[in-house]
Structure 1
């Protein structure tokens, strides 16, 4: 007898690809430099995501005759009852459909169930009937994502399923990034056929008209007018430069249209790009870049309309010399509190990243670059603060060893669409930003820390020498598979929480409450003069993140983080009722004690919680 349940159609999948570029920013007036070359030719378009499907069917094979081939009524009834009970326990009815060519039975369920539920149903059926040879889901299989028909696909070595590619085709079997916005905080983006439909919203946040190169300050036009310079204009002794179209190259690596039979493809081609223009002639100011991080992640910036396209991933293919400044750290902390993953280029000076900001700030994913052999690129920064490595190119052996992406032919102002190979940690960074977008599209509930943990825990071992290049080579496919594996990845705790409530007195560092991270404590701000200290051991290389949640909408308490010194390393002082979040990284080679301090600002004494983890 035929079942009458409605079944789902098999979902088809489409395809996409990834690219990159290279920058370095200096501290204040910050001079940006691009390491790339050679325009190419061509142009680009594609679509959708598919989640891992469940199924509405079950296959059961019995050791005796099949149901449809003469089983007695009693045998038939018993089998039907057992399968019906197992299905009913999971909210579905079951009905026999047919016998297969191998003598098994196909049973239909009245509603699709997650694959894990159907596997459990099958296990129950087998456990309750010794006559069952095997039982298993009748899975809905998907067409595997094939290489897109973009003619330059074979030139995108960084995206391939290979020892050095990030494996986007496997990830595309699950998702292509739909529903996730990626902020490209850069030079802006040129309109390009291969980015058609990929760009949403955005803003020009450059305040200085000398830097902006478009004749005005902040406005809603994030298109790139070019960043060419005359000789000696930015730095004495530096020659003239042509326009880099750097943001356009970065954007193409993330979201270039895939499968349209032209040009290239992005690594997360269904994601959207939110362009934030902060770099212009001679670079960009830290203050503008910090505002861009806050605005892109959904925060407010005075004089700028609200962002209607909040980004879950921020790509910063930029940097400069020096320690992490307070302005950048606070912006990163605010962006992370808004749920954004902050991905930053490690820098191109072939030095320790500890001297490159904002890659050395707490709470970012710092990205080193490797070339097509998998070895660290000769220019790439390195060190214990690097989190992962990704394809950035090594063009000393030829242009095609770089990263190919979208560009423009203009040497000063805009020209026509083009493609070019660039190299740099700027090009490695969008590979990681795209992987983060794919992970978030697969599991939108993940926090920034969980996304970072997923990318690092699934990274592949290096296939060539890449010392101090982080956890490994980013693997988009493995990261996406981990993201849909049923649990939110978090690093294992080093020690169990010590207590669940604050113990007074703890108003000095020497009396600080010891907390094993991750841990959450209930605490009380006893008066307007109260202050509370909490101490935690942070492993070498780990980033401590602390969240202070007030117990009422009127309460306004502030959060400070300290190391061994008397000066705060990080702080958060948001308004009444807001959750304060601050992060600090242990850059040493051994565990160290860090302190979280909470203070009263206003709104009355009362309860709050403090959460510490990494």
Structure 2
């Protein structure tokens, strides 16, 4: 009976359970199957009514979500092992903790449920940059562009209040520990913030980001180990959309996402909830830059949400520490390659991503575990498409400082048209080429 109930559940609702969730249920089921056979009939009901799954419920549309959420909240209160967690306002989704029995009831009583997704893990993507992309001295109308007046939201592990960002961390929100003051217990987010907007104050200007006067908003969606979930990252992106609705005169202009998870194979790319929410941000007027991933040199390894055909997906270039010579430059071996599972050419472009020196978050997880990467009391060296992405975000800030009314699609077009191609390149490896601030602006 135990075998029948679980297998029947998966077979009955396979079209509404995403593949990772099906695998998770089967893995949990296999653990229960190790128990003696004479206990199996008792374990069936126990398994169905007590084993808890963290999921994202996707409805057919926003109207269906409004109609169903209140009913869903009420029904979950009758089960001690279930909990309604979060309702999203930009995409027709909510996050819940449910048992298999409650999930079966959900499918039976809510015909508007399109898909249930495992609240899968999302990871920070880790494995002489600014002059090499000609972003260190961009002058227009006799003014040097610095990103002043532009705000970049770094959705990551947090932001440490480093001296190179002094006075420019204008907001901070924490979806992991719910703290209000800026901090970074991992170090990854601080490094990314510095690559985008550090001003080099602690190094006499030596180690500065692409937009050294841009503002930073820290959105902590990943924990001390650099891990988060579909839910926390979606909450972070949605918070940015809501922030702009509430602050129309001082909005977030750019989102930098140096994170990702393996893409799931849906019928179309925007069936992925992560892709849905970043595309909502894009459509609301926020330029979104996302890391391609660090699973190269294999093809078809672009991570989600970088698989989106709308946002800017950034791969990593190894510039061999040469500022003005392109001939020896190559795509970093770790940088993920396209095409996406949907046949889209990705990444869109490359930015420096090897041995990038940026801000150190003292006593953070990376600072302690990789102390050999310390370059200076205030700086740290890391490699990855995580580092390339905020450099791109910083260059976008320069573009928007000069052309404040550019729409996200126009920014993307100018970035791609301004790249440098120095040899016959594979577009699913190099994208349109190597980012160049002067050309794009």
TM class by shorter chain equals 0.5 to 0.7
| Aligned pairs (5 A) from 1:338-377 | 338-350=284-296, 351-353=298-300, 355-372=302-319, 373-377=328-332
Aligned match of 2:347 = 386
Supply the RMSD in Å over aligned alpha carbons.
Answer: 2.8
Shift of 1:417: 5.6
Asked if the contact 1:296–1:307 (Cα under 8 Å) also holds between the matched residues in 2, the reply is no
Residue 336 of structure 1: CA displacement? 1.5
The whole-number CA distance in structure 1 between the counterparts of 2:255 and 2:290 is 8
On the 8 A contact 1:194/1:257 being kept in 2, the answer is yes
Partner of 2:146: 176
In the alignment, structure 1 residue 456 sits paired with structure 2 residue 416: yes
CA contact (8 A) 1:177 1:441 kept: yes
1:266 maps to which of 209, 214, 221:
209
1:344 to partner: Cα distance:
0.3
Offset at residue 412 of structure 1 (A)? 4.2
SS in 1 for 2:256: strand
Aligned in 2, Cα 1:410/1:374: closer, same or farther, shift over 3 Å?
A: same
Distance (whole Å) between structure 1 residues aligned to residue 439 and residue 121 of structure 2: 37
CA contact (8 A) 2:194 2:208 kept: yes
Which of residues 387, 399, 402 is equivalent to 1:442? 402
In the alignment, structure 1 residue 248 sits paired with structure 2 residue 174: no
Aligned partner of 2:440 in structure 1 is 479
Structure 2, unaligned runs of 5 or more: 1-117, 320-327, 339-344, 369-375
Matched, 1:279 2:222: yes
Contact 1:347 1:353 (C-alpha < 8 Å) held by counterparts: no
Alpha carbons of 1:167 and 1:308: their partners in 2 closer, same or farther (altered >3 Å)? closer
1:309 deviation in Å? 5.0
Deviation at 1:221, TM superposition (A): 3.3
For the 8 Å contact 1:196–1:257, the answer to whether it is kept is no
* CA drift at 1:220: 3.0
Q: Which residue of 2 aligns with 1:291?
A: 235
**Residue 164 of structure 2 aligns with which residue?**
194
Measured in 2, the distance between the counterparts of 1:332 and 1:252 equals 23
* C-alpha contact (below 8 Å) 2:254/2:397 kept by paired residues: yes
For structure 1, the residue ranges without an aligned partner over 5 or more in a row are 1-26, 37-156, 207-215, 228-244, 394-401, 481-614
User: SS in structure 1 opposite 2:380?
Assistant: strand
The equivalent residue for 2:123 is: 32
Shift of 1:329: 2.2
What are the superposed Cα offsets for residues 462-488 of structure 1, whole Å, 9 maximum, x if unpaired? 3596652111111111112xxxxxxxx
Measured at CA, do residues 174 and 297 of structure 1 come closer, stay the same or move farther in structure 2, by a change above 3 Å? farther
Whether the aligned pair in 2 keeps the contact of 1:198 and 1:272 (CA below 8 Å) is yes
More helix per residue: 1 or 2?
2
Please report how far the alpha carbon of residue 28 of structure 1 lies from its aligned counterpart in structure 2 after TM superposition: 3.9
- TM-score, with normalisation over the residues of structure 2? 0.60
Question: Structure 1 residues 296 and 376, CA, compared in 2 at 3 Å: closer, same or farther?
Answer: same
Residue of structure 2 aligned with 1:257, choices 164, 189, 199: 199
CA distance in 1, matches of 2:244, 2:210: 30
| Distance of aligned partners of 1:336 and 1:309 in 2 relative to their CA distance in 1, 3 Å threshold | same
Alignment coverage as a number of residue pairs: 292
| TM superposition shift of 1:202 | 2.1
Deviation at 1:196, TM superposition (A): 1.0
Deviations 1:173-192 (A, max 9, x none): 54211111000000001111
Contact residue 292 and residue 302 of structure 2 kept, 8 A? no
Local SS of the residue matching 2:330: coil
Q: In 1, Cα distance between the equivalents of 2:215 and 2:244?
A: 21
Q: Distance in 2 between matches of 1:299 and 1:322?
A: 28
Greater radius of gyration (CA): 1
> Partners in 2 of 1:246 and 1:307 — Cα distance?
29
DSSP 3-state at the match of 1:357: coil
Give distance in 2, aligned partners of 1:177 and 1:335: 20
Asked if 1 retains the 8 angstrom alpha-carbon contact of 2:125 and 2:258, the reply is no
Q: Structure 1 CA distance, aligned partners of 2:171 and 2:365?
A: 25
1:374-419 CA-to-partner distances (Å, cap 9, x unmatched) read 20101001222211111001xxxxxxxx111011242549889621
Distance 1:353 1:409, change over 3 A: farther
Q: CA deviation at 1:353?
A: 4.8
Structure 1 residues 220 and 362 mapped into 2: Cα distance closer, same or farther (>3 Å)? farther
Contact 2:168 2:215 in 1 (8 A): yes
